Amino acid sequence: MTEATTRTAPALTIHAAAPEGGSQWWREAVIYQVYPRSFADSDGDGMGDLAGITARLDHLAALGVDALWLSPFYRSPQADGGYDVADYRAVDPRFGTLGDADALLARARELGLRVIVDLVPNHTSDQHAWFAAALAAGTGSAERSRYIFREGRGAGGEEPPNNWESVFGGPAWTRVRDRADAPGSAWADDGQWYLHLFDSTQPDLDWDNPEVRAEFEDVLRFWLDRGVDGFRVDVAHGLVKAPGLPDWSGHVSMVEGVEDPTSGGPGAPPRPAAEPVRAPMFDQDGVHEIYRSWHRVLAEYPGDRVLVAEAWVEPVERLARYVRPDEMHQAFNFPFLVSQWRAPDLRAVIASSYRANDLVGAPTTWVLSNHDVVRHASRLGLARTGKGPNGIGAADPQPDAALGLRRARAASLLMLGLPGSAYVYQGEELGLPEHTTLPDDARQDPTFFRTHGAEKGRDGCRVPLPWEAAAPAFGFSPTGASWLPQPAEWAQLAVDRQAGRAGSTLELYRTALRLRRELGLGTGSVAWLPGFEDSATVLALAVGAGGPGDVLVLTNLGAAEVALPQGWRVVLASGAVRVANDGGVLVPGDTTVWATR
């Protein structure tokens, strides 16, 4: 026992409960991310679909979440898992039909679940009708003005218009005549280049074009009219680029954002340390008017519709600009996701997140995993925690599975104990690890191919879910087909193996979500508990619906046991706790407890 305290009064309040009238559902919601390819396959083709999701919605209702967020299910060639959209108003046949989408929305309403859908406005697929028209129309056409086409530099325009890199690796520009489909076409000699911040099959739209803005407002209305409750906006910080598209020698990574703070070209003066890093392709001030206009569109509809920003923006004060009262409603808290598994790091990000969001009256969100990062049950078992690598292969250092799961359960209970809105990525309620031995010949992420295998990519966190241990494809597909292979050891993690089993990760999540609602944690106030404010190994927060102090959320990130402060009774723990000889409760390392007086 290394730390103890008999003081139980809250110390420094870092977040006050939402004021009266701030009761919109999204302020405290737990939202479950469904990656349609990998959730449930109804027709046996090995690809998840909307009918499969609808058939499994009872699982989400029993889990106790408030809403689900659907990753893209639109018509798409699937070069980037559906984030390359060819038609924003159509369901891809792989996933079903518009009728299937309507049936999913209707069943969700019956179960009391709200539905948020993904929107991908930074870029389209190169198979979108607009891009096909742009290629056919040629240089200087109105059709090309919907995208970012530019002349090249150097003799004959042989060099890209600037030096930007794709987030997926390689240059962010492709010359029209260098496309694989160029030979023999009417534009085979076309010397222009087009911008793609991601894959070359994902050309960036030009949001200075009023036609682009009008089109997406119409897309919003199309889905709002069908009954969706809001939109998660992909790459929300990327729509507007700096005027002139200036060179920039930095690098951007998914979720982490700007990795290399160098700005300007060779010989440019060093950037002052206090100056925020701002890449010319991201977080430009012009994005905010777009979201103010979208906010007005959503306000035309009843029921507290919501906009959620996926924005890799630092510092947190700039991220908070996206959730000002007349813009978006939530923004993903990536600094929390990428934080090291250390008490000082987590303490700092929790405090700064509340501070920035409270200033604009927005809820703080919490997230640990999604479809773009190594699952936190594996990430937290690596020698270095934080965001982790972009995928893990069989030849890479492997996570400590037992340590990773123990920490993942503790991190999840910490996250769900924090007021605000929490996001759960499909399968994390089962304690699913990353598939770290996925064969390279099964990989499909464009990152893997664009980096020539240097980055394994995101396939390992997108493997189809295990529902039934003894069924084909663990119940994902009636035929046993699966678009990515599932690890054999996932059988023991299947839903039917964990449901009703005391101590399972699934039952931990179910209990935590029930208690979160009963104890009013989502809308509570937060204060640091005295005696632990500067602890190197322990986070201790007093949380309460009316004011801080009703519930103690304590996470021990150290190796030694920690005594639970006197006067508190454990109501939930991520792992086994021990009763000392004096009757006190000892919390082991990598464990979170919720306690009441």
419 within 8 A of 524, measured Cβ to Cβ = yes
CA atoms within 13 A on the CB side of 300: 12
Radius of gyration of the chain (CA): 24
Query: How far is 314 from 257, CA to CA, in rounded Å?
Result: 8
Here the tokens at position 458 are 């995101």
300 is catalytic: yes
455 within 8 A of 447, measured Cβ to Cβ = yes
Residue 248's closest CA among 321, 180, 195?
Answer: 195
Query: How far is 283 from 321, CA to CA, in rounded Å?
Result: 10
Region at 500 (left for phi over 0; alpha for psi -120 to 50; beta for the rest):
left
Query: How far is 505 from 375, CA to CA, in rounded Å?
Result: 15
CA atoms within 13 A on the CB side of 173: 23
Burial category of 316 from C-beta neighbours within 10 Å (exposed 0-12, middle 13-18, buried 19 and up) = buried
CB count within 10 Å of CB 269 equals: 7
143 is catalytic: no
**How wide is the angle at C-alpha 295 spanned by C-alphas 289 and 297, nearest 5°?**
110
Catalytic residue among 158, 218, 300, 326: 300
Query: How far is 190 from 180, CA to CA, in rounded Å?
Result: 13
**How wide is the angle at C-alpha 107 spanned by C-alphas 461 and 482, nearest 5°?**
30
Q: Could you give phi then psi for residue 82, rounded to 5 degrees?
A: 95, -10
Query: What would you measure as the largest C-alpha separation in the chain, in angstroms?
Result: 85
DSSP helix/strand/coil, 143: coil
Query: How far is 285 from 92, CA to CA, in rounded Å?
Result: 34
CB count within 10 Å of CB 467 equals: 20
84 within 8 A of 444, measured Cβ to Cβ = no
CA–CA distance from 273 to each of 284, 301, 338 (Å)?
A: 20, 45, 21
* DSSP states along 472-532: GGGGT-TTS--SSPPPGGGGGGSHHHHTT-TT-HHHHHHHHHHHHHHTTGGG-EEEEPTT-
Parallel/antiparallel/unpaired status of strands 562-563 and 585-587: antiparallel
Query: How far is 362 from 521, CA to CA, in rounded Å?
Result: 16
Angle between the 210-226 and 98-110 helix axes, to the nearest 10 degrees? 50
Residue 67's closest CA among 117, 116, 136?
Answer: 116
Catalytic residue among 234, 428, 429, 459: 234
Query: How far is 160 from 164, CA to CA, in rounded Å?
Result: 9
Residue keyed to tokens 């939930």: 572
Active site residues: 234, 300
